[in-house]
């Protein structure tokens, strides 16, 4: 498809040596979703801002003396201020737990510990995660993830979060897209380490639309021993179309095991009968490098021709508060609308550039340029490069074909481009790493 003059391309830095853009002009994952027409309506992270200009609260910690502290970003669009948490929580030898996970979307869909649910599978109110249990590095900076530890179906102690009074979350069979960054080395097969759309009331069963990650093998499985990305649709956990029911396990040969320390898990459900994709799509990959792999894109499992989502949100538990799962959570969003493949690719590129697990801050010499080179932007046939006045640019299309273009006053006239992910390499006498830009339909 050829891009019309109103189209906009969102760009981000890639590569092992890439600069992680911290300025408000750089794109966050929710900026990418918004530009694609599928805006975030819930956006959670204890590690970083998910909008380029977001500088508010990421999460709240509560000390054992009952006092609380909101943890913000270090800068607009930046990482969490873990030092503020450490200073607050170390006072008088106190221990902190994560009491609120704030919604960055502006919809107010904050997460707090989940209430009790089904008397057989999750009868106890959940616990809050220990705040310092999961320290990691993000672009060389110390941050904390959310460590979900299991309880049991009939024993207390499960860590889990829920919102039963949401705003703007997809309901019924309305399309939605979501992803989370999780951990492929800390999993189990119990039900259910979920993130996504669930019942408002854990005692009233409806359809769900939530990402599941783990080694559960009661309904569907993927290749290898897991963990796998699947969808918790409430009465089962599935990763492709096919017969459903207890004792009827089916293999999806495209469902790869993802035992990476940082995993991107993505789920999209479209409206029944839609012609824009899916209606049931699962993708995943390494959150530290590479692109997403499509695990399934086609029909939903039997009995789920359309969904009856209730619009609640869960993290770390099943829809009925099933409490035996474990997992680690770093970030995740929910949108309205079925995101395009180009947006999926752009989101994964942003995640890779964020630097999960990177021990040092990425820097490079940009003294030959007049700006920070934190952004590329393409529209109406012109690629604009912040901080570069003259030189040459090599642009490689999705089929691997390259062309050289001159730079004049920070602009490269490429002409109209078909949709897809393009690689841009700036040739100015220095070893400048490639960066990607995405042409959206």
pTM of the model: 0.80
How far is 166 from 315, CA to CA, in rounded Å?
A: 14
Q: Give the pLDDT score at 218.
A: 92
Reference 239, options 219, 258, 259, 224; nearest CA is 219
C-alpha 412: how far from chain center: 32
pLDDT one-digit tens code per residue, 203-215: 988 899 999 999 9
What's the chain's average pLDDT? 86
- Annotated catalytic residue 199: no
Determine the Cα angle at 264 with ends 296 and 118, to 5°.
80
Q: Give the pLDDT score at 244.
A: 59
Question: Spelled out in words, what is the top-level CATH class assigned to the domain 26-354?
Answer: mainly beta
pLDDT one-digit tens code per residue, 7-53: 333 333 333 222 233 322 348 999 999 999 999 999 999 999 999 99
Q: Is the pLDDT of residue 386 over 90?
A: no
Could you say which of 176, 209, 220, 234 is catalytic? 234
Give me the sheet containing 57-63, strands edge to edge: 68-72, 57-63, 96-101
* Omega cis (within 30) before 279: yes
**Percent of the chain scored above 90 by pLDDT?**
67
How far is 325 from 331, CA to CA, in rounded Å?
A: 18
Q: What is the average pLDDT across 273-294?
A: 95
pLDDT one-digit tens code per residue, 360-381: 765 322 222 333 334 667 777 8
State the pLDDT confidence band at 382, using cuts at 50, 70 and 90.
Answer: confident
Q: Give the pLDDT score at 441.
A: 54
Alpha helix ranges (H) inside 252-410: 341-354
State the pLDDT confidence band at 277, using cuts at 50, 70 and 90.
Answer: very high
Rg (CA), the chain: 22
- Annotated catalytic residue 433: no
Q: Is the pLDDT of residue 246 over 70?
A: no
pLDDT one-digit tens code per residue, 410-430: 788 888 888 777 778 777 544
How far is 83 from 62, CA to CA, in rounded Å?
A: 15
For the chain, first and last CA: distance in Å?
Answer: 7
Residue 368's Cβ-side half-sphere holds a number of Cα atoms within 13 Å equal to: 11
Which of 90-99, 296-305, 377-386 is the most confident on average?
296-305
Q: Give the pLDDT score at 389.
A: 72
Q: What is the average pLDDT across 272-276?
A: 93
Reference 44, options 14, 71, 7; nearest CA is 71
**What is the 8-class DSSP label of residue 114?**
P
Cα torsion through 381, 291, 399, 341, rounded to 10: -60
Domain segments of the chain as ranges:
1-19+364-441, 26-354
355 or 421, which is more confident: 355
Q: Give the pLDDT score at 381.
A: 83
pLDDT one-digit tens code per residue, 129-180: 999 999 999 999 999 999 999 998 888 899 999 999 999 999 999 999 999 9
C-alpha 318: how far from chain center: 19
Q: Give the pLDDT score at 109.
A: 98
324 or 437, which is more confident: 324
Q: What is the average pLDDT across 338-356?
A: 95
CATH number of 1-19+364-441: 2.60.40
Q: Give the pLDDT score at 370.
A: 32
Q: Give the pLDDT score at 371.
A: 34
């Amino acid at each position: 498809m050829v891009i019309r003059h109103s189209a906009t391309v969102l760009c981000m830095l890639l590569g092992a040596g890439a600069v992680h853009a911290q300025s408000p002009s750089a794109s966050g994952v929710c900026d990418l979703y918004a530009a694609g027409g599928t805006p975030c309506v819930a956006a959670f992270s204890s590690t970083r801002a998910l909008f380029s200009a977001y500088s508010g609260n990421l999460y709240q910690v509560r000390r054992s003396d009952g006092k609380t502290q909101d943890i913000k970003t270090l800068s607009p669009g930046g990482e969490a201020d873990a030092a503020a948490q450490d200073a607050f929580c170390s006072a008088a030898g106190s221990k902190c737990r994560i009491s609120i996970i704030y919604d960055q979307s502006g919809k107010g869909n904050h997460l707090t510990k989940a209430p009790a649910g089904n008397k057989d599978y999750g009868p106890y109110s959940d616990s809050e995660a220990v705040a310092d249990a999961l320290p990691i590095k993000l672009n060389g900076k110390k941050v904390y993830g959310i460590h979900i530890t299991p309880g049991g179906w009939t024993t207390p102690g499960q860590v889990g979060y829920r919102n039963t009074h949401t705003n703007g979350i997809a309901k019924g069979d309305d399309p939605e897209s979501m992803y989370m960054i999780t951990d492929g080395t800390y999993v189990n097969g119990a039900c259910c380490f979920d993130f996504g759309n669930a019942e408002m009331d854990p005692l009233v069963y409806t359809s769900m639309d939530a990402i599941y990650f783990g080694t559960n093998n009661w309904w569907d499985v993927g290749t290898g021993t897991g963990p796998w990305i699947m969808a918790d649709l409430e009465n089962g956990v599935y990763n492709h179309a096919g017969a459903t029911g207890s004792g009827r396990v089916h293999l999806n040969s495209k469902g790869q095991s993802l035992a990476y320390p940082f995993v991107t898990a993505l789920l999209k459900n479209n409206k029944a009968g839609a012609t824009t994709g899916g209606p049931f799509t699962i993708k995943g990959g390494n959150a530290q490098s590479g692109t997403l792999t499509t695990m399934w894109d086609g029909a939903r499992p039997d009995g789920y021709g359309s969904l009856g989502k209730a619009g609640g949100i869960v993290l770390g538990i099943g829809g009925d508060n099933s409490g035996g799962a474990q997992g680690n959570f770093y970030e995740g969003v929910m949108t309205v609308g079925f995101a395009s493949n180009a947006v999926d690719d752009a989101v994964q590129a942003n995640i890779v550039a964020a630097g999960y697990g990177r021990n040092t801050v990425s820097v490079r010499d940009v003294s030959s340029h007049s700006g920070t080179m934190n952004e590329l932007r393409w529209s109406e046939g012109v690629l604009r490069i912040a901080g570069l006045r003259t030189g040459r640019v090599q642009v490689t299309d999705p089929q691997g074909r390259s062309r050289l273009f001159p730079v004049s006053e920070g602009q490269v006239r490429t002409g109209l481009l078909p949709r897809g992910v393009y690689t841009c390499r700036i040739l100015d006498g220095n070893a400048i790493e490639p960066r990607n830009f995405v042409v959206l339909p």
